[in-house]
Amino acid sequence: MTAYDDQNIFAKILRGEIPNVTVYEDDDTLCFMDIMPRTDGHCLVIPKTPCRNVLDASDAQLASVMATVKKVANAAKVAFEADGITLQQFNEAAGGQEVFHLHFHIHPRHEGVLMRPPGKMGDMDAIKAHADAIRAAL
Ligand code: 5GP
């Protein structure tokens, strides 16, 4: 497996070299807003320690990340009065992964509403308001 590259964008976020809109953090994990949100409330959960994805993550990394995913997913469901939550997680380029630091996407979903296409920058004021809403529900 390819080695972890500490120049990936999420490693830079963890080092504070790039700003982020934080939703939640604890000793082991960070949850922040995706800058190209495919749903209102689209956020990402990452471990604070390095691993590329599920394939090389330790059981401890996965356990702490999943605990945060569950916590934030429930808060996002309340905050957006969502009917459901979609989790996305990609492994290696062939699996759809673009940033090579383990992350889970959390998407609040509503009946009959499709996710937006990927790759479009979101409005920062809206993203910050969505983070506030999730934080308030935590
Ligand atoms: P994936 O690796 O799961 O395919 O996608 C990486 C995700 O990271 C995408 O949803 C993309 O919008 C998001 N992303 C890429 N660069 C940045 C960034 O600098 N900051 C934030 N917050 N999200 C990013």
103: annotated active-site residue: yes
Task: Round the average pLDDT of the chain to a whole number and report it.
Answer: 98
State which CATH number among 3.30.10.20, 3.40.50.720, 3.30.428.10, 1.25.40.80 fits the domain covering 9-137.
3.30.428.10
Asked if residue 87 has its Cβ within 6 Å of ligand 1, the reply is: no
Q: Exactly one of 103, 105, 107, 130 is catalytic; which is it? A: 103
* CB-based contact 107:85 (threshold 8 Å): yes
* CB-based contact 49:102 (threshold 8 Å): no
* CB-based contact 73:45 (threshold 8 Å): no
pLDDT value at residue 1: 77
Q: pLDDT tens-digit profile of 2-38?
A: 999 999 999 999 999 999 999 999 999 999 999 999 9
Asked if residue 95 has its Cβ within 6 Å of ligand 1, the reply is: no
Asked if residue 35 has its Cβ within 6 Å of ligand 1, the reply is: yes
Does the model's pTM come out above 0.75? yes
Ligand 1 atom nearest 32 alpha carbon: 22
Strands 29-33 and 22-25: antiparallel
| Structure tokens belonging to residue 107 | 């998407």
Distance 112 CA to ligand 1 centre (A): 25
pLDDT value at residue 11: 98
How crowded is residue 125: how many other Cβ atoms within 10 Å of its Cβ?
8
Residue 109: how many CA atoms within 13 Å on its side-chain side?
A: 13
Sequential DSSP letters for 60-103: HHHHHHHHHHHHHHHHHHHHTT-SEEEEE---SGGGT--S-S--
Residues of the chain with pLDDT under 70: none
